[in-house]
Amino acid sequence: MRAQAPGNAVLNIAPSTRLTIQRGGTADYSVKAELQPGFHVNSNMPGDDYLIPIKLTWNKEPLEAGQVTYPKPQMEKLSFSTNPISVYTGTFEIGTRFKAPATAMPGMAFMNGKLRYQACNNKECLPPRTVDVRVTLDIQ
Amino acid sequence: MSKTFLGVGVGFMLACALLWTGCSKGSVKASVKSDAAAKPPEFKLQDAVGQPTPEFSLKDVNGQTVHLADYKGKVVLLDFWATWCGPCKVEIPWFIDFEREFKDKGFAVLGVSMDEDGWTVIKPYVKDRQMNYRILLGDDKVSASYGGLDALPTTLLISREGKIASVHEGVSMGKEEFKNAIAQLLEAPRASAPIRSRGALALLARPGSR
């Protein structure tokens, strides 16, 4: 759908925990998501070109985001699909390994990103949504 | 000279004050009207059964502008869908069958795709599934005029008079129920048939008029 309807969020992102990282070092962070019962989101590789994959992206600074690691999807046979589709349900975590440049400014900072997803249940689909994700950093 | 100057000045100020008052009233009225236009009463699709269907003008696959009003006089199944919507796939084959079965009886299916990526994704999808009914590209404006379209599919059955006969959010009923509802609407007497048609029918019905 073209516009995002604000009132129909079925996926909640857990509040950010602080990530401590050394300059020149790396640290892992997980975005924790929880879906309302009965709903699913497509995995990052849904196996159908028409389906919208979940995708986590990060800004280019103050940290460098490495590869984003998606959890293993469930293959669900839904009432509307002839073949099982690759989805996430319930709670799941998407990991990212961050690297702090050696020249990074020490102190408190924020790493901002976006999570795009599209949720459905057996009877209907909600519009694709893009939500902001923010990590509080302690760069040492 | 100075009195004249003063008089002219006072007159000028009075004129300005009168003009300002008039303009001020005018601008207040205008702003009230503008506010009312900017914030229409919230339209809830589920409460709109029996109401006139919101009008729209959208492009079809050939770039032709389609107005919903063009379909007045026909029973219309208006389906808001998207290529990424799994449950929509369940209904599409039903709607293909309905179009085939009822199109010569004053019925049409209109599929309004809400895909952000537009015709690039819609065209191959329509071709793959051999969708035989008219597909239009939706936009934010049509979404807003239909209450926001919080979920897909959202399907409306529209009477020949252009009124909303039923609203179905999600896959809420089966093919046979849809088919029966369409058949009932097609059989329903035309509530607002043109007077000329009534006259013609009355003339035909009059004994000895043939």
Contact yes or no for B89/A50 (Cβ under 8 A): no
Q: Which of A3, A50, A80 has its CB closest to that of B83?
A: A50
Largest CA distance in chain B: 95
Which residues of B fall within a CB distance of 8 Å from A123?
A: 87, 170-172
CB contact under 8 A, B151 and A126: yes
Distance from C-alpha of B145 to C-alpha of B186, rounded to nearest angstrom: 26
Which tens digits make up the pLDDT trace of B58-87?
999 999 999 999 999 999 999 999 999 999
A115 sits in the region (left: phi over 0; alpha: psi -120 to 50; else beta) called: beta
CB contact under 8 A, A128 and B116: yes
Could you give the dihedral angle defined by the CA atoms of residues A56, A61, A66 and A71, in that order, rounded to the nearest 10 degrees? -30
CB contact under 8 A, B87 and A52: no
Which residues of B fall within a CB distance of 8 Å from A85?
A: 86
What is the full per-residue pLDDT of chain A (140 aa) written as tens digits?
A: 544 444 458 999 998 889 999 999 999 999 999 999 999 999 999 988 899 999 999 999 999 999 999 999 999 888 777 788 999 999 999 999 999 999 999 999 999 999 999 999 999 999 999 999 999 999 99
**How far does the CA of residue B132 sit from the closest CA of chain A (Å)?**
20
DSSP states along B190-207: -TT--HHHHHHHHHHHST
| Architecture in CATH for domain A7-139 | Sandwich (2.60)
One-letter identity of residue A8: N
A85 touches chain B (CB under 8 A): yes
Buried b (16+ CB within 10 A) or exposed e, A6-33: eeeebbebeebeebebeeeeebebebeb
Which residues of B fall within a CB distance of 8 Å from A78?
A: 86
**What's the ipTM?**
0.86
Which tens digits make up the pLDDT trace of A36-54?
999 999 999 998 889 999 9
- Is it true that the peptide bond before B93 is cis, omega within 30 degrees of 0? no
**B199 found inside a domain:** no
One-letter identity of residue A49: D
**How far does the CA of residue B147 sit from the closest CA of chain A (Å)?**
10
* Chain B residue with minimum CA distance to A4: B150
**How far does the CA of residue A120 sit from the closest CA of chain B (Å)?**
8
Strand, helix or coil at B76? strand
What CATH number is given to the structural domain containing B138?
3.40.30.10
**B88 found inside a domain:** yes
Residues 6+ apart with CB under 8 A from B147: B42, B43, B44, B45, B48
User: Which has the closest alpha carbon to A133: A59, A41, A34?
Assistant: A59
**How far does the CA of residue B13 sit from the closest CA of chain A (Å)?**
52
Contact yes or no for A13/A131 (Cβ under 8 A): yes
Residues of chain B with pLDDT under 50: 1-39, 192-210
Contact yes or no for B129/B95 (Cβ under 8 A): no
Domain that holds residue B102: 56-188
Chain A, residues 96-125, CB within 8 A of chain B, namely 118, 120-125
* Chain B residue with minimum CA distance to A46: B84
**B105 found inside a domain:** yes
Q: Write down the residue that tokens 């949720």 correspond to.
A: A119
Q: What is the pTM of this model?
A: 0.78
How many structural domains compose chain B? Answer: 1
* Chain A residue with minimum CA distance to B117: A2
DSSP class of residue A7 equals G
CB contact under 8 A, B140 and A2: yes
**How far does the CA of residue A62 sit from the closest CA of chain B (Å)?**
31
User: Which has the closest alpha carbon to B168: B159, B180, B176, B178?
Assistant: B178
Q: Which of B125, B150, B151 has its CB closest to that of A50?
A: B125
> How far is the CA of B188 from the CAs of B74, B106, B198, in angstroms?
11, 12, 16
* Chain A residue with minimum CA distance to B173: A123
**B149 found inside a domain:** yes
